[in-house]
Amino acid sequence: MAETPLIGAELIADFVTRLPSKPGVYRMFDDKGEALYVGKARNLKNRVSNYARGQGHNYRTALMISLTRHMEFVVTGSEAEALLLEANFIKKLKPKFNVLLRDDKSFPYILIAKDHEFAQLTKHRGARSRKGSYYGPFASAGAVNNALNTLQKAFLLRSCNDSVYSNRTRPCLLHQIKRCSAPCVGFIAKPEYDALVGESEGFLTGKSNEVKALLARDMEAASEAMNFEDAGRLRDRIRALSFVTATQDINPEGVDEADVFGLAQEGGQFCVQVFFIRSGQNWGGRAYFPKADKTIEVPELLESFIAQFYDDKQVPAQLLLSDDVAERELLEEAFTAQAGHKVEIFVPQRGTKKSLVEHAATNAREAVGRKMAETSSQTKLLEGVAKVFDLASVPNRIEVYDNSHIQGAHAVGAMIVAGPDGFIKGQYRKFNMDSEDLKGDDFGMMREMLTRRFTRLLKEHGDEQESETSTNWPGLVLIDGGLGQLSAARGVMDDLGLHDMPIVGIAKGPDRDAGREHFYMVGRNSFMLEARDPVLYYIQRLRDEAHRFAIGSHRARRTRAIALNPLDEIAGIGPRRKKALLTAFGSAKAVARANVVDLESVEGVNEVLAQLIFDHFHQGN
């Protein structure tokens, strides 16, 4: 007789017997293999044994224990290492019982690239592979663009890429509007340009007052020499610098490098506002809405948030917090080891630093208020959707489908997702349609897309199908099209046994007029909504977002296809031989026209390869 598998507290108790008394990270999984919780411990055996008691836990922890079907652990050299590994696992696995940092996008930087004789001023994201000086992070593309505009006005550095630079024969528009010194056409000598680079780096490292004083001195000297044109240019540069230093949202006086965290919570919604202070300047901020259980304590939430926040970012010298965290010293130890320099965490009680965190907390409260107002508005819209389309319940998830192609080429299907918090962009999906049978067949593409989507959904989340609170199953499916597309979609659902899945087709109005859309549902005549109905505007936004995503995916696929070189399809042609062929003949088209003898004359191409290349381009002849 087979033994009954251990679950919950019994499974954890059995797991404890194999745990070492060392620091590390443990992970709990449910019956589907999905992560429930990731935790760290100074002593794995002692920490995990607390879960094995089976009593004395709050509801959240008790539920997590009851769902546990498997556990894993990793031993680390120290508790600080365990903290960093825990943050990495949480971001990767997204366990449902942890605090989850959402909307975590990479930050832009300013780069003064020095891989060219005349340094380039540009915006940068991603790996720091180019030689040069990086400054940031900036909170948003808007913040870094504003800084770049100021730097162009103040220091006249070129922003064009190297290929544009090398092909200029006369100055561009940026020079005419006094934002570039035009080194491309020799309007400035290299020593003078390098001086501008040095001044810009001084400004970006917090020496704005010294830079302005130097420019003011030069302006006075030019004026005394009656060189009023140069004096006017220097005056304009000083104005640009004065503008950016006078428009800081918060005054970071006395704080050279720090990240400022302010936390607010209301109605079970958390918000963390982050400001970036670099070189004594405020480089913008961003509001985050971490996903966490309503019962979680603020110190635990803020500690987990900060650990995840710096999983893939540089840590500044100081972190200023509005609320204390339980393991501040451990965070300092882990971040110091990670950053390679001393990192200090403060909860300021007075002075400038206190003002900074209060300002961050105020912004967090305002952001959470706006978020709750938006959520309330969104809830009303979803209630309106349920009423308009006679749904059994208010949908927690709406999926919208569209496709895009040009005469069947590079066809892409697209799915966007919306819910109570708006668009859920992390769950958008695209479907490449490569079958020859689908070329130009819009109905066939819709069938293919929905079949792939819902077959997988049944396989992975079939047991949630009847749940009204499921975040995996849609409460409504919208498709771009009329009766034909509706019929195709309904056929797929019926084949999969999803007879109750609500589907609505949206047909564009006469002359594709927004506001005159017709809606199609099985068992109802087509109908329209009032021109100013908020639900109509909402549906239009959903359809337009699906259309935008489909068009964007199609264009990206078409661009990649255009960029492909026919030589890449030939076995034996690597980067070196491809370069040699293109150098010898000038283009892939010229290679295709070449005969075997000419191909053999290229370095690295022997008789066999030359024949292979020739045959590749003349298969049908």
Distance CA(160)–CA(417), nearest Å, equals 38
- CB 454 within 8 Å of CB 496: yes
CATH for 349:
3.30.420
What is the helix (H) or strand (E) element at residue 161, kind and residue range? none
Q: In whole numbers, what is the pLDDT of the chain averaged over residues?
A: 84
My answer on whether 572 and 491 are in the same domain is no
Across 257-272, average pLDDT: 88
Q: Would residue 236 count as lying in a domain?
A: yes
- CB 244 within 8 Å of CB 211: no
Q: Would residue 383 count as lying in a domain?
A: no
The domain boundary residue, chosen from 353, 369, 385: 369
Lowest average pLDDT, out of 109-118, 191-200, 278-287, 405-414, goes to 405-414
My answer on whether 241 and 262 are in the same domain is no
Across 588-593, average pLDDT: 80
Q: What is the DSSP letter of 326?
A: T
Across 592-613, average pLDDT: 86
My answer on whether 142 and 210 are in the same domain is yes
Q: Would residue 382 count as lying in a domain?
A: no
Q: State the pLDDT at residue 436.
A: 66
* Domains identified in the chain, total number: 5
Token readout for 49 is 């044994």
- Three-state DSSP class for residue 523: coil
My answer on whether 540 and 402 are in the same domain is yes
Residue entry with tokens 């780096």:
201
- Three-state DSSP class for residue 597: helix
What is the helix (H) or strand (E) element at residue 403, kind and residue range? strand 398-406
* pLDDT per position as a tens digit, 557-577: 766 665 556 777 787 788 788
Contacts of 610 (CB under 8 A, 6+ apart): 596, 597, 599, 600
CATH for 456:
3.30.420.340
Q: Would residue 179 count as lying in a domain?
A: yes
B/e letters for 256-281, b = 16+ CB within 10 Å, e = fewer, are: eebbbbbbbbeeebbbbbbbbbbbbb
pLDDT band, residue 286 (cuts 50/70/90): confident
Q: State the pLDDT at residue 580.
A: 83
Helix axes 79-93, 328-339, angle to 10 degrees: 80
My answer on whether 73 and 113 are in the same domain is no
Its sign, for the CA torsion 323, 326, 328, 331, is: negative
Q: Would residue 379 count as lying in a domain?
A: no
Contacts of 572 (CB under 8 A, 6+ apart): 609, 612
- Three-state DSSP class for residue 273: strand
Across 326-353, average pLDDT: 90
My answer on whether 202 and 263 are in the same domain is no
Across 289-317, average pLDDT: 87
Q: Would residue 449 count as lying in a domain?
A: yes
pLDDT band, residue 514 (cuts 50/70/90): low
Cis omega before residue 395 (within 30°)?
Answer: no
* Nearest CA among 134, 126, 133 for reference residue 106: 126
Q: Would residue 3 count as lying in a domain?
A: no
Residue 530's domain comprises 398-462+470-550
My answer on whether 200 and 175 are in the same domain is yes
Query: What is the residue type of 574?
Result: G
Q: State the pLDDT at residue 237.
A: 67
- Global pTM value: 0.66
The domain boundary residue, chosen from 50, 69, 93: 93
* Nearest CA among 413, 383, 397 for reference residue 472: 397
Q: Residue 446 pLDDT more than 80?
A: yes
* pLDDT per position as a tens digit, 13-24: 988 999 999 999
My answer on whether 281 and 226 are in the same domain is no
Neighbour count for residue 367 (Cβ, 10 Å) = 21
My answer on whether 593 and 458 are in the same domain is no
Percentage of the chain lying above the pLDDT 70 cut: 88
Per the model's pLDDT, the better-predicted residue between 192 and 438 turns out to be: 192
Q: Would residue 141 count as lying in a domain?
A: yes
Q: How far is CA 527 from the centre of its chain?
A: 39
Q: State the pLDDT at residue 1.
A: 43
* Nearest CA among 417, 328, 321, 407 for reference residue 364: 321
Per the model's pLDDT, the better-predicted residue between 366 and 204 turns out to be: 366
CATH for 589:
1.10.150.20
The domain boundary residue, chosen from 27, 62, 93: 93
Range with the largest mean pLDDT of 267-281, 308-322, 587-601: 308-322
Q: Residue 246 pLDDT more than 50?
A: no
